[in-house]
Amino acid sequence: MSPAPHDDNQHRRPHTPPLAASFLEFDLTRELEQLHREPDWNRGQNAKTLVKYDDFRVVLIALKARARLPGHQTKGRISIQTVAGHVTVRAEGRTFDLPVGTLLALDHDLPHDVEALEESAILLTIAWPAGDRDSVQQLERQP
């Protein structure tokens, strides 16, 4: 008897809308509720790319209390906006306190990590210099 096939579709969102268009509009409350209903939320975090252009990304990330995004960096400039809860970001030997409604911008190639002090959600934006396909391809290979 052969094992049952693995169903990759259980983790996929149905009917994915376009990620790049002339304009895109989102209800972040609804998007966050959807992230909380998905199986990945049980692991302590979940994320969804909302916008995906060649040189620009917007990602909504939901984090349970004490969840961490360990040290990493990107060749693009980023901003981190807390849309729910409270997070800290460590970079350049400093700790940045980001309660709901605050935004932090970081330059490219700056190592940083993120920790949720309580159940939280952040909106991550990443912008690459025009033509920097290597950075974009590296991000696309990450889980």
Burial of 55 from C-beta contacts in 10 A (0-12 / 13-18 / 19+): middle
Check residue 140 and give its pLDDT. Answer: 52
Check residue 93 and give its pLDDT. Answer: 93
Check residue 18 and give its pLDDT. Answer: 67
Query: What's the average pLDDT block by block, 10 residues per block, for the chain (143 residues)?
Result: 44 58 90 95 94 93 96 92 98 96 95 97 92 54 48
- Spatial separation of the C-alpha atoms in residues 110 and 26, rounded to whole Å: 29
Check residue 7 and give its pLDDT. Answer: 44
CB 79 within 8 A of CB 61: no
CATH superfamily of 45-132: Jelly Rolls (2.60.120.10)
